[in-house]
């Protein structure tokens, strides 16, 4: 596609429920990143994929968070048993190979009540 797309754009959920956030990177981009931005805060790196592999998952905040990428394209970030502190904008970015220029999607705004 022309750019990185994310869905849903907004998600409101109840505490304890699971949510799935989706990212469609730019076609041909092999690197994919997930970030979280809480209100008034900087971006927090969560996880990076090169192809379908995530060499480092240490950025994930807890074991309630998981991510996968299939076919070297679409990625899903799953948050289980959501907590109020998970409320944030979740941003996905992709880049071609390991070039540093990342292109961001519009984000998913998650609100956990």
Partner 1 sequence: EDKVVQSPLSLVVHEGDTVTLNCSYEVTNFRSLLWYKQEKKAPTFLFMLTSSGIEKKSGRLSSILDKKELFSILNITATQTGDSAVYLCAVVSGTYKYIFGTGTRLKVLA
106 belongs to the binding site for partner 1 (CB under 8 A): yes
Judged by beta carbon, residue 66 or residue 103, the one nearer partner 1 is 103
72 belongs to the binding site for partner 1 (CB under 8 A): no
Query: Are the C-beta atoms of 82 and 17 separated by less than 8 Å?
Result: yes
Judged by beta carbon, residue 22 or residue 104, the one nearer partner 1 is 104
Name which position in 25, 26, 34, 48 contacts partner 1 (CB under 8 A). Answer: 48
- Minimum separation from the CB atom of position 92 to partner 1 (A): 9
Strand pairing report for 88-95 and 75-79: unpaired
Could you give the CA distance from residue 52 to residue 71 in angstroms, rounded to a whole number? 7
Name which position in 39, 55, 63, 71 contacts partner 1 (CB under 8 A). Answer: 55
Query: Are the C-beta atoms of 113 and 12 separated by less than 8 Å?
Result: yes
Query: Are the C-beta atoms of 93 and 104 separated by less than 8 Å?
Result: yes
């Amino acid at each position: 596609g022309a750019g990185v797309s994310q869905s849903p754009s907004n998600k409101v959920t109840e505490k304890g429920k699971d949510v799935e956030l989706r990212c469609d990177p730019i076609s041909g981009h092999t690197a994919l990143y997930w970030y979280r931005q809480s209100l008034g805060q900087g971006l927090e790196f969560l996880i990076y994929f090169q192809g379908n592999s995530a060499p480092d998952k240490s950025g994930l905040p807890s074991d309630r968070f998981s991510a996968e990428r299939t076919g070297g394209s679409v990625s899903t970030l799953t948050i289980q048993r959501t907590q109020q502190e998970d409320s944030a904008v979740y941003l996905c970015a992709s880049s071609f190979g390991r070039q540093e220029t990342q292109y961001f999607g519009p984000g998913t705004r998650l609100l956990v009540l």
